Amino acid sequence: MKPADITNLHALGQPTVAPDGRFAVVPVTRADLGSDSYRGHLWIVPTDGSAPPRPFTTGWRDSAPAYSPDGAWLAFLRATGAEGAEAKAQLYLMPTSGGEPRRVTDHPLGAGAPVWSPDSRQIAYVARVPDEGRYGEGRPDAEPPRRITTLKYREDNLGFFIDRRSQVFVVDPFAEPSAEPIQATAGDFDHSAVAWSPDGRRLAFVCARHDSRDSDLVAEIWQCAPDGSGLKRITDSPAGDLKLSVDQVCFAPDGESLYFTAAELGPSGLDMLGRNLGLWSIPADRSGTPRRLTDAETTHLVRGGGIEASPDGILARAESRGAVELLRVAGSGQQETLISGQRQVEGVAHGGPALVAVVSSPDSAGELITVGDLAEQVLTSFASISAPHPMEELTATSPDGYPVHGWIVRPEGAGPHPVLLIIHGGPFTQYGWRLFDEAQVYAGGGYAVVMGNPRGSSGYGQAHGRSVLGDAATNAAADLLVLLDAAVATGGLDASRVGVQGGSYGGYMTTWLAAHHGERFKAAASERAVNAIDSFQGSSDIGWFFAAALWGSDPAAWAKQNPLSYADQISIPMLIIHSEHDWRCPVEQAQRLFVALQLRGVPTEMLLFPGESHELSRAGRPSHRVARFEAILDWWQRHL
């Protein structure tokens, strides 16, 4: 795989299934270097595999399809131009029997994913409402100043949100002439994850409206009627001992209960790092207390991943040793694994007798499959990267006896090959069983890629994830180095030509390893890193709580865990990559390290990407993603 081959990698979004189960619709998105943006269409496929998939829409970027419960209509989002397309997608409607899509909404900042009412007459969604005079067609730098009085006022890859809150809307898409959407919520609050009750009389959604919402991470479930009346809180986290950060919500098929995903936050309401996201239930009328249905220690559900209520239980996805499994959880808490193995489930939907899932694997960026009592059936063949380099599973044991899990992705030939130790961010996330463009490009360039999930990663139990709290570097570094040793011991790898590279928390660990174990590496590439905890606390969008959560509450002790504190120990060449608009790990984190190394004469280069956020490597402009890959390959070519 070459850098420009990112155009051959597709991403399948959340599918939808017709109520009779006969057809599924799935969005397919690819990077387009010609327009320097992302193009996406909806594809329709029979769930019995009787015919190949075919394009169903031809817009610039179509996404978030949703069948109406009566099966007659398909609602979806469409962005009609390349520039700013993702932010201004509008709701469209088309008959499933065929015909031209019709635009339903005209929100200045775009609409969110559609959710049908049970009677197929209304659609609920979330949209951001800008303050008067903000986010118009004029020059943003000519807008009036923002008066900021809260800790929470901006978010990486979004920007300021205190002047464009997300509200719940309900629209009748069939009204003639077109009806104005009803704004069901209001106020200085953000709303998300809207769901209809089975009788169509209530909307449930996630929101933080409590008085202490600016100083904790609590998010709760609220309900109201479709016209916004009868607003009431269902969970009561701020007042109780059980403080929760709710992520997703859905009603039980009988409407008597609400199911939701949430992580516990401890007494402070801020103790979020390394906490497993679980599935919970609560009576829909708020007559009881939340009950956790999945095990707090062993089961971590995917954050941001929707949950679906099926007749036999709630469908949810869980991380497990690099895999993402599909679970079905009954109201009693009984759990069944529907999809497992060395792969990752990235989306799921059901309708009638059909259950479909988007599944990625080490040799595919994702395909749509059916899941049932009999053998699985692959319904699509979108993959266009031929013969990707395989993942070779690797295990090791740290000096204190702790087990470490990871992989090698080898280039062609017998070697000995130069080696890249790459480190993921988070730290509470995981590398895993999927086609990973980073590993494929580096292996395609002739490097053996070693990657793993040291202490602090997700998918190995909550204790594993929380083991780095207060000491984010020492044990994780030991795990990474022993994994590197185990990889070299397999043969074909050149221990004298090793580089280390990582982004975000992985960048933090890269700088740390360059300072404390520089003798192991010829050079380093630190991306979008945390290098100085003290300035990160105030400059990052999440720093005000994240710094204490990971490195402890005593600022005097941060210097011992600061990679920048040990810059005088770095002597190997360092490439620093950062985005100018990164608000998660702001650009000053890169600049401080760059200046410190330059003043000491260490061979150091800094690559800055204009207009990009913390998500550059995953969702940046395609041209910038290619330029990043080319710069990294050039760096390793010169130093390894």
- 155 pLDDT more than 80: yes
pLDDT score, position 169: 98
pLDDT tens, 88-129?
Answer: 899 999 999 988 999 999 999 999 999 999 999 999 999 999
139 burial level (CB within 10 Å; 0-12, 13-18, 19+): exposed
pLDDT score, position 422: 98
- 321 pLDDT more than 70: yes
Cα separation, 308 vs 203, in Å, equals 16
For the chain, give the mean pLDDT.
95
What percent of the chain has a predicted confidence (pLDDT) above 90? 92
Task: List C-alpha distances in Å: 636 to 443, 500, 639.
Answer: 12, 10, 5
Q: Is residue 56 within 8 Å of 42, Cβ to Cβ?
A: yes
- 83 pLDDT more than 60: no
Residue spans of the domains in the chain: they are: 1-103+365-382, 106-136+149-341, 391-639
Cα separation, 294 vs 301, in Å, equals 9
578: left (phi over 0), alpha (psi -120 to 50) or beta: beta
Cα separation, 512 vs 532, in Å, equals 11
Report which of 195, 326, 184, 186 is spatially closest to residue 248, judged by C-alpha positions: 195
pLDDT tens, 364-410?
Answer: 999 999 998 767 999 999 977 778 999 999 999 999 999 999 999 99
Cα separation, 222 vs 236, in Å, equals 10
Encoded amino acid at 572, one letter: I
DSSP letter string over 235-284?
--TTTSS--EEEEEEEE-TTSSEEEEEEEE-TTTT---TTPPPEEEEEET
pLDDT score, position 84: 47
Report which of 417, 413, 395 is spatially closest to residue 404, judged by C-alpha positions: 395
What percent of the chain has a predicted confidence (pLDDT) above 70? 99
- 63 pLDDT more than 80: yes
pLDDT score, position 385: 78
Those residues whose C-beta lies under 8 Å from the C-beta of residue 271, and which sit 6 or more positions away, are: 264, 265, 549
pLDDT score, position 85: 46
Which pair of structure tokens corresponds to residue 230? 């009868």
Which pair of structure tokens corresponds to residue 365? 């960026």
Asked whether the domain spanning 391-639 has the same topology as the one spanning 106-136+149-341, the reply is no
- 338 pLDDT more than 50: yes
Report which of 52, 20, 55 is spatially closest to residue 41, judged by C-alpha positions: 55
Strands 417-423 and 493-503: parallel
Backbone φ and ψ of 440, nearest 5°: -70, -40
Report which of 490, 575, 588, 454 is spatially closest to residue 531, judged by C-alpha positions: 588
Report which of 609, 613, 540, 628 is spatially closest to residue 581, judged by C-alpha positions: 613
Which pair of structure tokens corresponds to residue 517? 């174990």
Which pair of structure tokens corresponds to residue 290? 């939340």
Please state which of the four CATH numbers 1.10.10.10, 3.30.413.10, 2.120.10.30, 3.30.530.20 is assigned to the domain occupying 106-136+149-341.
2.120.10.30
pLDDT tens, 220-259?
Answer: 999 999 999 999 999 987 777 899 999 999 999 999 999 9
pLDDT tens, 426-471?
Answer: 999 999 999 999 999 999 999 999 999 999 999 999 999 999 999 9
Domain spanning 1-103+365-382: which superfamily? TolB, C-terminal domain (2.120.10.30)
288: left (phi over 0), alpha (psi -120 to 50) or beta: beta
Torsion 539-541-544-550 (CA) sign: negative
pLDDT score, position 19: 97
pLDDT score, position 372: 80
Q: 391-639 domain in CATH 3.40.50.1820?
A: yes
3-state secondary structure of 106: coil
Residue 435, CA atoms < 13 Å, CB-side half-sphere: 22
For residue 82, what pLDDT band results from cuts at 50, 70 and 90? low
